[in-house]
Structure 1
Amino acid sequence: MTLNSTAQPLGRLKRLEDIRTVWPNEALNFTPWLAEDDSLALLGETIGIDLEFVGREQWVGPFRADLLCIDSSTHMRVLIENQFGKTDHSHLGQVITYAAGLEAVTIVWIAERFTDEHRAALDWLNRSTAEGVNFFGLEVELWQIGASMPAPKFNVVSQPNDWLKATTERVEALTGTDQLKLAYWQAFVEYAKPVAAPLSMTRPQAVHWMDFSVGRSGFWVGARINTQKNVLTVGLYSNLSKEFYRQLLHQKVEIEADLGFPMIWTENPGKKQSQVELRLEVPDVRDDAAWAEQHEWFLTHLKTLHRVFSPRIKVLQEVPVGLSDAAPDEDDA
């Protein structure tokens, strides 16, 4: 006897054999697509890094690297190099040359197919290079269901040794204050995400800060919690030339008038990072019953900082001296 199924009909996944049906040209189509926010978000989800776009076709001597990004949680450089077809020695050399020239610490090589030799080369680089330098090899595919729109998919074929294990172990090993920080930012993201624009929410981590792009590489707005002193801080941060900070300082009166509140301006001579901050003392950062009110304060002031500072930093004309490889100062235990 045949039973009639009442289940919804299901489609069948089909892989597109030629990605050129969607991206006819690597440089003219694929690289610009990869630089889009949604594409970088998909790539970042695949490798476990929140990516902030810096620029395309970045010059390295007489050569140009495809994409340069920043890891939003560390503000360190991420190089992305892509190619159609299978991997070759030329692109392997380019990846290493561009990474050295741009001082990138995370290198992502994307191709349609990785040869065994080049997969082994990335595995060897991950074993042999200095700690903190990470190489990823990804194959890109296109899939669709029936006549649906094609959907991109990245497959990791090489990654840093124990990358997934180390990430899992870091989360599992969290205790005390670190667990509190992670829970605090997870709750903030859940609260803010539906109404966060123009802020782009990043993945919560067990640290005392959460940072957001403000429209120019080397600048970001951020939120800070100090669990010892029970202080909340929002601010604009930069690790570029001090001349940028001084130009903003010249606009202090106008900026604070637009903000509607005074800020603490700190140049930090001798250090790369400068900041402009607002602080709020609270009864207890650890009291999750008060988090909603704290999160509202954070979101309101972060949006205000973004609105006031973003157009100003975009027109600063001095040439930056470079990006720092340092995360925000750890003043919270």
Structure 2
Amino acid sequence: MKLGKLEQITDLRSVWKHEAKDFTPWLAKEENLEILSETVGIDIVLEEQESNVGDFSVDLYATEEGTGRRIIIENQLEETNHDHLGKIITYASGKDAEVIIWIVKRARDEHKQAIEWLNQHTDDKFEFFLIEIELWKINDSEPAPKFNIVERPNNWAKAMKKTAGLSETETLRLAFWENFNNEALKHSSFMKDFKLRKPQAQHWYDLGMGSSAYHLSMTLNTKSNSLTAGLYVNEDKDIIAKLMVNKEQVAQMLGLSDPKEIEWRLDENKKASRFLVIHPMEDMNDRNNWNSGCAWLCDMCVRIKQIVKEILK
């Protein structure tokens, strides 16, 4: 068997001559942002290219699918410098960003330390990524990009810092969603359709579904001892109306015998609307019940994704 030779293209400007005119438009394409999304573990949805921040502009302004967290991406086809370090702080402030991604050709040690320091000294809300971009080819093949994370958020350390101030209920919520993430890995159909998110001490857990118009939302309620899974529609009333017209089909696809088992929440005074299914739990404090509850959530998520695919698209 004859194998090809893997070679690195060290001159990035032989492919992208100009950061703003070549690299940023390339990265803004959906298929390329998907590569970056997989690298950092965040579903990135582009909002604006060369987005204004006062008299300046950030290369890419985006949001996280499902949560709406604001993301800025600053590109640099050279090694890091103080100028760009200052820019990402300025842009993050101007856009009120929670995720900051700095992509460079090479990260200098002092800037690695700066990003590490920012991750250590900011709270759990903020995440700083320092990433090196590489180009590789095999023999005469087309060049292929590779993102290497140099510095990333220390989620474990931040989680420990945050956990110290949690209430008993918040601690339970965090533990449940951590358990959900572990259980979800056993469900191949779920993992095929969704990307897991970092657990938070919240009563909800949202998942992206490939659209900014809606997302999947799961909740746990310790008072009523129940779980819910449903579709949250941000503003488009036509979407929820189309689903309601097909109530019987929705119920059937959810595995329900009666459409009345679906709870529809419509508020004319609010933009958002949703439907959900409630799953009673014997006791949310009993962790022996969690795996079965998490399995139910995984199954409902897959079913809701199929409903969206068949009825809305």
**TM-score, structure 2 as length reference:** 0.70
1:156 deviates by 2.6
1:109 deviates by 0.9
Contact 1:185/1:205, CA 8 A, preserved across alignment = no
Matches within 5 A, 1:174-213: 177-178=176-177, 180-188=179-187, 190-192=188-190, 196=193, 201-203=194-196, 206=199, 209-213=205-209
Q: What is the SS of the residue equivalent to 2:244?
A: helix
Alignment partners' CA distance in 2, 1:127 and 1:112: 24
In the alignment, which of 302, 307, 317 is matched to residue 305 of structure 2? 302
Contact 2:59/2:74, CA 8 A, preserved across alignment = yes
Unpaired stretches in structure 1, ≥5 consecutive residues: 1-7, 239-243, 311-333
Q: What is the count of residue pairs matched by the alignment?
A: 281
Q: What is the SS of the residue equivalent to 1:132?
A: coil
Q: Match of 1:324?
A: none
Which region of structure 1 is more displaced relative to structure 2, 260-269 or 111-120? 260-269
Equivalent position amino acid for 2:229 in 1: T
Q: Match of 1:70?
A: 63
Normalized per residue, the structure richer in helix is 2
Alignment partners' CA distance in 1, 2:155 and 2:116: 12
Q: 1:294 to 1:97 in 2, by over 3 A?
A: closer
Contact 1:66/1:82, CA 8 A, preserved across alignment = yes
Aligned-CA RMSD value: 4.0
Q: 1:141 to 1:256 in 2, by over 3 A?
A: same
Q: Does 2:244 align with 1:256?
A: yes
1:276 deviates by 1.4
Equivalent position amino acid for 1:209 in 2: Y
Q: Match of 2:126?
A: 133
Alignment partners' CA distance in 1, 2:142 and 2:55: 39
Q: After superposition, give the CA deviation of every residue in 1:229-283 in whole Å (9 maximum; x if it has no partner).
A: 4444212244xxxxx4xx728x8656522566675225498xx994412324468
Alignment partners' CA distance in 2, 1:32 and 1:58: 13
Contact 1:67/1:81, CA 8 A, preserved across alignment = yes
1:27 deviates by 2.1
Unpaired stretches in structure 2, ≥5 consecutive residues: 163-170, 251-261, 283-288
Q: Does 2:211 align with 1:215?
A: yes
Q: Match of 2:53?
A: 60
Alignment partners' CA distance in 1, 2:157 and 2:140: 38
1:164 deviates by 7.0
Contact 2:133/2:145, CA 8 A, preserved across alignment = yes
Q: 1:283 to 1:203 in 2, by over 3 A?
A: closer
**TM-score, structure 1 as length reference:** 0.66
